[in-house]
Amino acid sequence: MSTAEAEQFITLARVAKTQGRHGEVACDLFTDFPERFAERRKLFAWRERGGYQELELEDFWMHKDRVVLKFTDVNSIDDAEKLIGAEIRIPASQRAELEQGAVYISELAGCAVIATMGAGEAREIGRVENVQFGAGEAPLLVIKQGEREHLVPFVESFVVRMDLAARRIEMRLPEGMLEPEKD
């Protein structure tokens, strides 16, 4: 295994289609920091069947709701087509620094959630399986415990303490929030 494969990687974008005639690719963004492409030259394309390919970023620009990437040595539509579906990644050690109190969503997956309901005692309600974005302002933690699934808003007012190194999130939730809905 190469050094690149041994290190944990973070996905910044996924190649959706070719763009233009000179090897450019249009990508769906998975980062809140697209401006950081300006300081990145070495990126990695990852495909489930084929592993990692190191690429040198030549240029980038935003187009509609996507980022267009131009890589050195990817100079034709045929070359670009080979990248469709690939995830564009960087080593985790190169991710952007976050402001105090901010957290990467990917760091929440697998964390045990310990919750206090009203005046009750703290108990583990499960582990974060995923994070959903959508209808509300706050993302929802998808917390699984066996067959049960809880959707809990990930809001500052509910979080008592987070210890990501210990994979633990302590929360204070409103009374009745985790009660099953009655038909």
Question: What pLDDT score was predicted for residue 135?
Answer: 61
Question: What pLDDT score was predicted for residue 180?
Answer: 67
The pair of structure tokens assigned to 17 is 């289609």
DSSP, residue by residue, 44-89: EEEETTTEEEEEEEEEEEEETTEEEEEETT--SHHHHHTTTTPEEE
**pTM score > 0.75 for this model?**
no
Task: Specify whether 9 is located in the same domain as 85.
Answer: yes
Question: What pLDDT score was predicted for residue 183?
Answer: 53
Domain boundary, last residue among 94, 126, 149: 94
> Is residue 115 within 8 Å of 125, Cβ to Cβ?
yes
Domain boundary, last residue among 70, 94, 118: 94
In the chain, how many H helices and how many E strands?
2, 12
Question: What pLDDT score was predicted for residue 130?
Answer: 86
Domain boundary, last residue among 74, 94, 114: 94
Task: Specify whether 76 is located in the same domain as 44.
Answer: yes
Please give the tally of structural domains in the chain. 2
- Tens-binned pLDDT, residue by residue, of the chain (183 aa): 344 444 688 889 999 999 999 999 999 988 878 898 999 999 999 998 888 999 999 999 999 989 999 999 999 999 999 999 999 999 988 887 877 777 877 788 899 999 988 777 889 999 999 888 776 678 889 999 888 999 999 988 999 999 988 999 999 998 888 876 655
Q: Is 34 part of a structural domain of the chain?
A: yes
Q: Is 78 part of a structural domain of the chain?
A: yes
Task: Specify whether 143 is located in the same domain as 67.
Answer: no
CATH code: domain of residue 26: 2.40.30.60
Question: What pLDDT score was predicted for residue 5?
Answer: 47
Residue 78: phi, psi to the nearest 5? -60, -45
Question: What pLDDT score was predicted for residue 17?
Answer: 97
The domain in which residue 134 lies consists of 105-173
